Amino acid sequence: MQSWLVICFILSVINPSRQQHTSEKSAKSLKCGRVEGGSKYSASANQWSSYLDHMEAAAKEVVECVEDEAGCSTCHYGVIKQDLSPFESGITRSDLNAAANISSVTKYQLINHELFRSEFCMFPFRCRGIEHFLLELLPELPDTEFYLNTRDWPMAGKYFGPPVPLLSFSKTRDFWDIMYPAWTFWEGGPALGIYPNGLGRWDNHIVSLGKAADENPWVNKALKGFFRGSRTSAERDPLILLSRECPDLVDAQYTKNQAWKSDKDTLGYPPAAEVSLEEHCRFKYLFNYRGVAASFRFKHLFLCKSLVLHIGDEWLEFFYPALQPWFHYIPVDPRADRDQLQSILEFAQHHDAKMREIAENGAKFIEKHLKMADISCYWRELLLQYTALLKMDIIKDEKLINII
């Protein structure tokens, strides 16, 4: 017995690294909340009870949308009313001139069921993604005229003057811009190595992501958070750093973007490979961050039937307001630090049934109320209500080109 103790003592002296590695591993497990009782950031030291209260309240507040006589979801029509409310006294030629004077906008006219556009379009593929729906609706629309912004950033700021009737795909509440469905429902979106022509074709993604969701049911999904994207905002940094410290809790890595010059642009690590949207479906918790403006991937993540954690509520697309936080997705403060993000993920792991329910709520909403037909319906309703406000005759601008 004494000989055995001596041997153990000798081994501990000549191989201290083994003990150190074990203790480091144990400390890391404690810090990452992967042991019995969780970590110091778990239930006893965070807002878990308030999360549950928010869920209970959201379930009572959510209002089920209905379809109109044409079979269109009415979920999003309140956004049209709100965006057009500054122009309820009418849109004059002077108002349109103010929109025309904004840099790099594109002019459209619909006349006698034909579509015309200024020759200039800052992003031609984005215009094509818009024109798919406009051409589809030509037989149903009256003569009209409008100016449209294809840039990511809205252009008619409330702090710079009176309301300007300019159409933009996303905005914050600090802008007058009137939201329209982004071109990504048909063509365009961010160009990536795996999507060289942009995301595009929402109808195809509905099918491919639905299949990926079926192949990765909730019970088989990896029990961790997931994110891939470039460093377009420092809001993403805490999640990336958490992933590096707690890889069993979240897999979050930066990829290259057009501005990438060195590993400094990816927080000191080599850029990760891009991951297809379908591959996202392998994980239970998917993080959605804004990019330069609103996030193009938000609508796609729901179709994985994974839990979507949406960071921030400043940026909007037309369909965001109809989604109910804590019922369709989990909202996350954009100022959340590494510890708060860890807490949210631990909360999700400890409330699996509730997270699955929210994931299913979000997927059902998108599947039911963001179909391709709903995009066409929104365009139709938007242009009908907008045109009803015009207080001038529509006279053909001979400088425009015919879009066929």
Predicted local confidence at residue 42, as pLDDT: 55
Predicted local confidence at residue 257, as pLDDT: 80
Q: Answer yes or no: do 238 and 349 share one domain.
A: yes
**Does residue 27 lie in a domain region?**
no
**Does residue 69 lie in a domain region?**
no
**Does residue 43 lie in a domain region?**
no
Question: Which range, 30-34, 187-191, 263-267, has the best average confidence (pLDDT)?
Answer: 263-267
Q: Answer yes or no: do 125 and 234 share one domain.
A: no
Position 46 confidence tier, pLDDT thresholds 50, 70, 90: low
Q: Answer yes or no: do 154 and 202 share one domain.
A: no
Q: What letter represents residue 132's amino acid? A: H
Higher pLDDT among residues 83 and 295, named by residue = 83
Residue that has been written with the tokens 């349109």 in this structure: 96
DSSP character string of 283-352:
EEEEEE---SSS-SSHHHHHTTTSEEEEE-SS-B-TTGGGS-BTTTBEEE-TT--HHHHHHHHHHHHHTH
| pLDDT over 60 (residue 23) | no
Exposed (0-12), middle (13-18) or buried (19+): which is 387, by Cβ within 10 Å? Answer: middle
Average pLDDT over residues 166-173: 97
Average pLDDT over residues 328-340: 95
Query: Among residues of the chain, what percentage have pLDDT more than 70?
Result: 88
Note down the domain range covering 169. Answer: 77-182+374-403
Q: Give the dihedral of Cα atoms 266, 269, 275, 280; nearest 10 deg.
A: -90
Q: Answer yes or no: do 118 and 168 share one domain.
A: yes
**Distant-in-sequence, close-in-space partners of 80: CB < 8 Å, separation ≥ 6:** 378, 381, 382, 385
**Does residue 293 lie in a domain region?**
yes
Residue 352's domain is classified under what CATH number?
Answer: 3.40.50.2000
Q: Answer yes or no: do 122 and 159 share one domain.
A: yes
Q: Euclidean distance between the first and final Cα of the chain, in Å? A: 92
**Does residue 33 lie in a domain region?**
no
Q: Answer yes or no: do 102 and 206 share one domain.
A: no
Contact 222/249 with Cβ under 8 angstroms? no
**Does residue 170 lie in a domain region?**
yes
User: Distance between CA atoms of 201 and 194, rounded to whole angstroms?
Assistant: 15
Higher pLDDT among residues 154 and 47, named by residue = 154
Q: Is 393 a catalytic residue?
A: no
Q: Answer yes or no: do 302 and 385 share one domain.
A: no
Predicted local confidence at residue 17, as pLDDT: 41
Average pLDDT over residues 97-117: 97
Predicted local confidence at residue 293, as pLDDT: 86
Contact 186/169 with Cβ under 8 angstroms? no
Going by their DSSP bridges, the two strands 106-111 and 114-117 should be labelled as antiparallel
Q: Answer yes or no: do 360 and 380 share one domain.
A: no
Cα–Cα distances in angstroms (integers) from residue 220 to residues 60, 241, 280, 283, 287, in the given order: 30, 26, 13, 9, 19
Q: Answer yes or no: do 253 and 303 share one domain.
A: yes
Predicted local confidence at residue 67, as pLDDT: 86
Q: Answer yes or no: do 107 and 142 share one domain.
A: yes
**Does residue 115 lie in a domain region?**
yes
Q: Which of 95, 152, 177, 374 is catalytic?
A: 152
Q: Answer yes or no: do 215 and 350 share one domain.
A: yes
Closest CA to 366 of 260, 218, 210, 215: 210
**Structurally, how many domains does the chain consist of?**
2
DSSP character string of 4-50:
HHHHHHHHHHH-HHHHHHHHHHHHHHHHTT-STT--TTSGGGS-HHH
Q: Answer yes or no: do 324 and 256 share one domain.
A: yes
**Does residue 11 lie in a domain region?**
no
Average pLDDT over residues 151-164: 95
Please state the pTM of the whole predicted model. 0.88
| pLDDT over 90 (residue 359) | yes
